[in-house]
Amino acid sequence: MKAIITHAPQWIGAGMLGLMLAGSVQADSHGMAKDIVDTAAAAGQFETLVAAVQAADLVDTLKGEGPFTVFAPTDDAFAALPDGTLEDLLKPENKETLQSILTYHVVPGEIMAEDAMAADSATTVQSQDLTITTMDGQVMVDDATVIQADIEASNGVIHVIDSVLMPE
């Protein structure tokens, strides 16, 4: 049985709060819970991320058992990159760099919003640490703001962020 949320941090959007209250997990047309890739593809705001995951040959990894926590940049976040950056990253000769950037957005294990708010860092699949801070009710991951949290998938959780994270 899911706990009833009586207070949610202000950074959790009203729509997301509704999903959380309903205990919703994304499901396919057969009622099966969707994995992270299918959940992101169905959301409609991660077309660029899904294309990048495909170009980097990471689909099978993110469809794997997990669990994973994905800090998922929106299409607008990718559009805000300097001109030409995304196009260059999607070239076959830059696949390794793209993989490094994308795996910097993935943390092994399932970190729900409440746990993220209590953390100060998380080690990514790419092996570097993300800095997590909470200020004025907003959770920041490096320089990105979490704009939607706790989108559950069959193999982990997605937190939507407003910019693309770049490893050192």
**pTM (two decimals):** 0.81
What is the end-to-end Cα distance of the chain in Å, rounded?
A: 42
Nearest CA to 160 out of 37, 28, 68, 70 is that of 70
Nearest CA to 71 out of 6, 164, 9 is that of 164
Predicted confidence (pLDDT) at residue 108 exceeds the cutoff of 80:
yes
Helix (H, G, I), strand (E, B) or coil at 148: strand
Please check whether residue 153 is in contact with residue 65, taking contact to mean a CB–CB distance below 8 angstroms. Answer: no
Predicted confidence (pLDDT) at residue 98 exceeds the cutoff of 50:
yes
**Left (φ > 0), alpha (ψ -120 to 50) or beta: where does 44 sit?**
left
Predicted confidence (pLDDT) at residue 145 exceeds the cutoff of 50:
yes
Strand blocks (E) in the chain: 68-73, 106-108, 121-123, 129-135, 138-141, 144-153, 156-161
Predicted confidence (pLDDT) at residue 112 exceeds the cutoff of 50:
yes
Domains, the chain, ordered by start: 32-161 (2.30.180.10)
Strand blocks (E) in 27-161: 68-73, 106-108, 121-123, 129-135, 138-141, 144-153, 156-161
pLDDT digits (tens, 9 = 90+) for 10-53: 333 333 332 332 233 444 444 557 999 999 999 999 999 999 99
Position 36 scores a pLDDT of 96
Position 32 scores a pLDDT of 58
